[in-house]
Amino acid sequence: LSAPGLDTYSLAYFQCYLRAMRGAAGDRPVYVLECGGASGPNHDGRDIDPDWAVFAALYGHAHGADALLFWRRDHKLEPELMLAISRAMRALDDEPLQSRSTPLIQGVGLVFALDSFFATQATAGRALPYLQTVQAALGALQQHQTLYDFRSDRSLGAEGVPADWRVLVAPGMTIVPAEFARAARTLLARGGRLVVTDDFGVIQTWRGAAVPQEVAALRAEPGTVILPAEKLRAWRVSLGNQERDPSHWQRTDAASWARPLWQAVDGAAPRRVTYRAADGSLLVTHAGARTTGDTWYVFVDPWARDATVSVPVKFSGCRDLFHHRDLAVSQGAAGTTVRIPTGPAVLRFTGMKPR
């Protein structure tokens, strides 16, 4: 294929879908052939929320899509939706953003374990238990404003862990491929972190699986963090099934089980973009950013209010491309901060200063 594409209506998992496609595409473009956001939760004309369409347009580009097509069953776009989408398109009408920027990733990779997926399907009669574990992990990463990447265990085994990755998150990996085990050992040897669930490697009679001693050695590594799989699945079940809603994963705080995951990320792959509420706490929001190298673009979702956005680099200027206005920047030892009264926004940081 000259360009891979997918349909996605589960906007709650938009980042995951697009990072998966971006990883599979290589240098080819990625298209969202049918995109949610132009209809309500029931996939019809009721409960239309133009903010969903703005979110899909902005964050589709933030996470790596080259183009997306909105779809509705009745093939009609209401005027308010068209206007919302046009405002998002104007915000993205920046030549370096369009042609020279790439998604900003902070060194965290979420792993989809293909053999474990198929084994769960075979043993449980459905793959849902495995998928719930992965969805819980990505929900917790998104709650922590993590700009993560996404690959399969087979691709990591064949190609190795990318040099800029510092944390591997492999939930529900009941079968550990031998090639993945070797890749994980390489990451740990260079000071990275491996985050798994307590069912890691429990199935060992599978062709190509790592031998029990290899699995035991990985579990015992100081850089390995082990999470309780049942708690991940229970948390995912508690969210319900409205994945079309971009805020789906925000409904329940994952802190009861996710703190070790967050600590591993903070220690090995610190946040590149931080969104905070007025009281200084982490804002419940969607993270998204792109960079050309000397210019950073930070995306702010439509539901953000009275927020501060910080990046760990000093910039002299910032312009909100959505509202067409310059913003005052504050510089400190930790980098650059701007205040956002309301989203949505596309923040263009320019005038990078030497470290």
Amino acid at 135: Q
- Measured CA to CA, the distance from residue 64 to residue 14 in angstroms comes to 10
135 and 236 Cβ atoms separated by less than 8 Å: yes
pLDDT, tens digit, for every residue of 75-126?
Answer: 777 888 889 999 999 999 999 999 999 999 999 999 999 999 999 999 889 9
Question: pTM of the prediction?
Answer: 0.94
**What pLDDT is recorded for position 7?**
83
- The pLDDT-based confidence of 67 (bands split at 50, 70, 90) is very high
Going by C-alpha positions, the residue among 109, 142, 148 that lies closest to residue 253 is 142
Across the chain, how many H-helices and E-strands are there?
11, 18
pLDDT, tens digit, for every residue of 174-222?
Answer: 999 999 999 999 999 999 999 999 999 999 888 888 999 999 999 999 9
List all residues 6 or more positions away from 203 whose beta carbon is below 8 Å from its beta carbon. Answer: 116, 119, 174, 175, 209
Sign for the pseudo-dihedral over CA of 173, 175, 179, 184 = positive
pLDDT, tens digit, for every residue of 162-178?
Answer: 999 999 999 999 999 99
Q: Is 51 helix (H, G, I), strand (E, B) or coil?
A: helix
**What pLDDT is recorded for position 41?**
56
DSSP string, 60-114: HHHTT-SEEEE--TT----HHHHHHHHHHHHHT--HHHHHT-EE---SEEEEE-H
Of 50-64, 72-86, 87-101, 282-296, give the lowest mean pLDDT range.
72-86
**What pLDDT is recorded for position 166?**
97
**What pLDDT is recorded for position 115?**
93
Going by C-alpha positions, the residue among 175, 171, 131, 158 that lies closest to residue 23 is 158
pLDDT, tens digit, for every residue of 119-159?
Answer: 999 988 999 999 999 999 999 999 999 999 999 998 888 88
* Biggest CA-to-CA distance, the chain: 62
Q: What is the dihedral of CA 181, 232, 273, 9, to 10 degrees?
A: 100
Of 75-89, 245-259, 295-309, give the lowest mean pLDDT range.
75-89
Check pLDDT > 50 for residue 43.
Answer: no
Reported as type and span, the H/E element at residue 133 is helix 128-143
